Amino acid sequence: MQNKHTSGFRPALRIYVDRKKSTLRGHEQHRTKNSLRDVILGGQDGLVNMLGIALGIVAAGGSNHVLVVTGIAAAITESLSMGAVAYTSFGSERDFYLAEKNTEQNEISFQPDEEREEIRVIYAAKGFSGQLLDEVVSTITSNRETWVNTMMDEELHVQPVEERSLLHSAMIVTFATFVGHLIPLSPFFVVAGAPAIVSAIALSAVTLFGVGVYSAKTLIGDWRKIGLQMVAIGLGAAALGFLIGLLLHSATT
């Protein structure tokens, strides 16, 4: 027969487990927001790259036809390249997780007492004590998979990366990079010369500012500050392309 002190431990442990599941669902929700990171990564790269190419070609005296053909070729090759880089880069996160998980599994196998004590320290820091802390430690360490996953989450603070997630990110980066190229390139399909340049810069600035605002509203930060930062970084990088084009044009004339 349980006394009045012991009977309260199980419900309290159940409440904690429910909260833990809610936290894990929160991690899943945060991972879905990584799509914004992928869009910004690909879109900003494509836009800045194409704007720099356009300004550089115009500064070097290139024709509108050359610019459009070069822009389309750059959009295709850069998009595929960025998608591949994104896949390998995010894949390294997956490999890191698997390597760390293997390390934790070995430590639990060969140093179970030390690893059990780490669980105790982690949950003691969360406010658990006495028999309730013993219950938490016993429950977690009674299942090897739960034990390993808890160490990965609570000690190392890393989350698994699925193959499907890698492909999804790579596809988003590829598409965003291609669209990013088309934004500053689109005016040159209609007009040429100074009107096309002004339109490309204005369209790029508005897009960069909009992305910064959306990022701030979706995540955190002042939308005006982040929007202007995006514009400054993007147009600043494109300006370098323009200056390089001027230098090359001057050197060859």
What pLDDT score does 174 carry?
A: 93
pLDDT of residue 79: 92
Query: pLDDT tens across 108-129, in order?
Result: 999 989 999 999 999 999 888 8
- The pLDDT of residue 250 is 72
Note whether residue 119 is domain-resident.
yes
Query: Which pLDDT value is given to residue 249?
Result: 65
Contact call for residues 97 and 162 (beta carbons, < 8 A):
no
Residue 207's domain spans which residues? 36-248
Let me know if residue 13 belongs to a domain.
Answer: no
For the chain (length 253 residues), average pLDDT per consecutive 10? 44 48 44 69 86 80 84 91 85 83 91 91 90 90 90 83 77 93 92 87 90 78 82 82 72 67
In the prediction, which pLDDT does 176 show?
A: 92
Q: Against a cut of 0.75, is the pTM above it?
A: no
Query: What's the pLDDT at 156?
Result: 81
Kindly state whether residue 75 falls inside one of the protein's structural domains. Answer: yes
Establish if 10 belongs to a structural domain.
Answer: no
Domain presence at residue 6? no
Provide the domain count of the chain.
1
Q: What is the pLDDT of residue 245?
A: 67
Q: What is the pLDDT of residue 76?
A: 93
Residue 67 lies in a domain: yes
